[in-house]
Structure 1
Amino acid sequence: MTNGHHVVVLGAGYTGMFTAIRLAHRTRRTGVKITLVNPSGRFVERLRMHQIAAGQELAVRRIPELLAGTGVTFLQGAATAIDPGARSLTVDDSTLLGYDTLVYALGSSTDTGNVPGVEAHGFTLNSPEIAGRFAARIAEVAAAGGTVTVCGGGLTGIEAATELAEAHSGLNVTLVSTEEPGSMMGDKARAYLHRTLGRLGITLETGVRVAKVLPEAVELADGRILRSDACLWTAGVKVSPLAADAGIATDDHGLIMTDASLRSVSHPQIHAVGDAAAVRMDFGQLHGSCQSGLPTAQYTADAIARLLRGKTVKPFRFGYFHQPVSLGRKDAVIQFTKADFTPAGMCLTGRSAVWYKELVSGSPLMTYRYSKRMNVTTLVSKGGRATLKPAA
């Protein structure tokens, strides 16, 4: 019944990779064909990009190697258009790839278009190549006792700032944020975070917005000019316009609007996972993270396998359970949370938190490895009563 059914997974980040590998295992011996499409042949561990930025060399993971033994076909190329009516997508403006089911897993990237000068003078963690160029620049800045400005006080900005300060003792690190770093944490975890920022000598500029990034400075909205020999931009995200351009229903930010089974509300043959999907629970819309992304991938692989067998699927349920933050290689803080991401009473700090964070960062690769042979369940909370049903 499913013989020849073609599933195309668009995007080989954390969620796309997991969807393809798990679906291959769930549909073995059924004749289902799976193709994974991605512009690069390298699998990017986005949870570790701040380590590359600080000058650390990480193992290069090749997508074909991660897929070995699964039967999934890898097509290296960038999708440039989707035709939902014809159920096809164009890759690199020439290859036409048909599909019966499409999994949209293109993820997100740091938005550099909202503040003048970011595109020209700032660095991001959008790719290993950019992070590597930033690392080379930082080595020069640190040797001269210069200053780096990290713009954005979210978890990515915190991890990047602490990693840089720990790795380069001669570097002056300034963290600029519109909100207090760690504002989403409980009092104990937030206090520990700020003590660590102080111990590492990081200068905080909070409650202020960046107005412009200059070649050797950052201009704040209050008119002050901060000297900056290098700027790392971690504020704001954007998604590919591919879905919206194709006429697929998206929200104001370009995320695919999904139903309770993570299928497009306008084109049910398209499933959306990870950062590119607008997924709502009763407590609100999920924000882009590996914590919520991998469960959407797991659910979607299982849902497609069940649909191909003519079975029904239950609505997707998810609840957050932690906020893991590395503070360099030797320190970390883990804030455990309620399902809606508000802080719970417990947190981890110090060595136990370092161990926990490393376990979290390494878990996707381990999950892929074992998912080739068994149905591995990601560590996920369904949130109890908080997520008994998705939002209407």
Structure 2
Amino acid sequence: MDDIVVLGAGYAGMATAIQLAARNRGDFRVTLVDAHERFTERLRLPMTATGQQTASLSIPGLLCGTGARFVRGRVTSVDLGARTVVLDHGTITFDLLVYALGSVADASSVTGAADHAYTLNGVAEAARLADRLGSARQVVVGGTGLTGVESAAEIASRFPSLRVTLVGRTAPGMSLNAKAGAYLRGALDRLGVVYEAGEIRNVLADAVVVDDATLPADVFVWAGGTRVPVLAEGIATDARGRMVTDSVLRSVSHPFVYAAGDAAAIRQPYGIMHGTCQSGMPTGVHAAVSIVRSRRGREPRPFRFGYYHTPISLGRDDAVVQFTHGDDTPRRLHLTGRAAVRYKETVTAAPWPTYRRMKRLPASGAFWPKGRRA
């Protein structure tokens, strides 16, 4: 019996493991590996970073009844020749591997950030930031993408006495349509978040150098870029460490390895996908379907994905949701205010009913709409 090992129990890895287990006919074993037993809701890490309580979701609990096995351990390396995963407490062998360990903030890209920056790489890092904010006076958030905007807004709304500055080369909300972008920037203004245009050159213990100016900062939060740790020597990756895949999410250099979520460089007609929850789960499902089809002598189908929205929290009481074309360019339709808050909360909670539905998936593949079965 073959062993299929899934590394990483995030949105993509969890979807892969549950989908594989649901389609298993007793001809392989599924093992899911993660460093923590608690599922990390990356979408809610800005809340954790400001001391707010979020649900404690157990990975073994989410797997209960699926037939998939959970192993807790931190992956230190992958030996592709020996087909073994080295953990901090032992090794696991595999016949097929799914790499879904996700990405982390690339603090190495800015001088001093590795020594002085706070990141939202996980619950522990976010909680460390929450402990520090209570005694801070001036906070600088680097990066005007979704993580930077949500972090700055959450900090400003929870700690109104703090001076919060958001720094980036482009103004926040520039990927939205004109009205949605204006609403986002107006919301940041109302929260007292100051936007500083420029490139961060250096991070000091008590300041941030932006171009030729120095901004005082008790706390610096880095949200300006990500990378994927390369743990499997010799596998084909891009400049950010993401595994380069073919159209069915299989490694172009090692066909017994698949990738899903932020760890994969997946090319679509509009370019390389960027990592989000809305794309992570579909890639995990498709990786599982590709594996099952290949094992049963059927040709895997190419992965196709189109974006459909960009929900952005602006504190707990405000949000903006930009609906998009498949290539992630903005449509005219968008939501703001309480309607956007309700929509985003629904989306944020959506994975759990989906995972439960996957557990009930019969071998025929009824999870998929007609014509897309595995």
Calculate the TM-score normalised by the size of structure 2: 0.94
SS at 1:242 equivalent: coil
Deviation at 1:191, TM superposition (A): 0.7
The residue number in structure 2 matching 1:320 is 307
Q: Deviations over 1:67-118 (max 9, x none)?
A: 11111111111222222233222222x6232212111111100011121221
> Which region of structure 1 is more displaced relative to structure 2, 164-173 or 75-84?
75-84
Displacement after TM superposition at 1:59 (Å): 2.1
Letter in 2 for 1:11: G
Equivalent residue for 1:224, pick from 178, 200, 213 = 213
CA contact (8 A) 1:367 1:378 kept: no
Superposed, 1:149-168 pairs within 5 Å as 149-168=140-159
Match of 1:35 among 31, 37, 41: 31
Gaps of 5+ in 1: 383-392
Q: Is 1:189 equivalent to 2:180 in the alignment?
A: yes
Secondary structure, counterpart of 2:107 in structure 1: coil
Aligned pair 1:210/2:205, yes or no?
A: no
Q: Any gaps of 5 or more consecutive residues in structure 2?
A: none
Post-superposition offset of 1:321: 1.0
Please list, as runs of the form range in 1=range in 2, the aligned pairs for 1:53-132 lying within 5 A after superposition: 53-92=49-88, 95-132=90-127
Partners of 1:165 and 1:339 in 2: CA distance: 32
**Secondary structure of 1:86's match?**
coil
- Cα shift readout 1:299-318 (whole Å, capped 9, x = no counterpart): 11122222222222211101
Aligned CA distance change for structure 1 residues 376 and 324 (closer, same or farther; 3 Å): farther
Aligned match of 1:45: 41
- Per-residue CA shift, 1:249-272, capped at 9, x if unaligned? 112222111111110111111111
Partner of 1:140: 135
Between the aligned partners of 1:5 and 1:316, the Cα distance in structure 2 is 24
Q: Deviations over 1:309-353 (max 9, x none)?
A: 222221110111111101111111011111111111111111111
Matched, 1:337 2:324: yes
On the 8 A contact 1:294/1:378 being kept in 2, the answer is no
Deviations 1:201-249 (A, max 9, x none): 111102x01111111111112x211111111111110111113x2x111
Distance in structure 1 (CA, Å) of the matches to 2:84 and 2:114: 33
Q: Report percent identity of matched pairs.
A: 48
Q: Is the 8 A contact 2:171 2:195 kept in 1?
A: no
Quick one: distance in 2 between partners of 1:78 and 1:376? 34
Q: Compared with structure 1, are the counterparts of its residues 147 and 126 closer, same or farther at alpha carbon in structure 2 (3 Å cutoff)?
A: same
Is 1:23 the counterpart of 2:20? The answer is: yes
1:295–1:85 distance in 2 versus 1, CA, 3 Å: same
Structure 1 position 369, deviation (Å): 2.4
Q: CA deviation at 1:366?
A: 2.6
| Whole-angstrom distance in 2 between the partners of 1:54 and 1:366 | 27
Larger displacement relative to structure 2 (252-261 or 325-334): 252-261
Q: State the alpha-carbon separation in 2 of the partners of residues 81 and 226 from structure 1.
A: 39
SS at match of 1:113: helix
Determine whether 1:263 maps to 2:254.
no
Deviation at 1:376, TM superposition (A): 8.0
Are 1:304 and 2:291 an aligned pair? yes
Residues of 2 paired with 1:60 and 1:204: CA distance?
34
Check conservation: 1:102, 1:271, Cα contact below 8 A.
yes
2:190 counterpart residue number:
199
Pairs aligned (count) = 367
Q: Cα offset for 1:378?
A: 9.2
Residue in 2 that maps onto 1:6 = 3
- Is residue 8–residue 36 contact of structure 1 (8 Å, CA) maintained in 2? yes
CA distance in 2: counterparts of 1:332 and 1:340, whole angstroms: 22
TM-score (norm 1): 0.90
- 2:279 is aligned, of 292, 304, 310, to 292
Query: Counterpart of 2:237 in 1: which secondary structure?
Result: coil
Counterpart of 1:216 in structure 2: which amino acid?
A: D
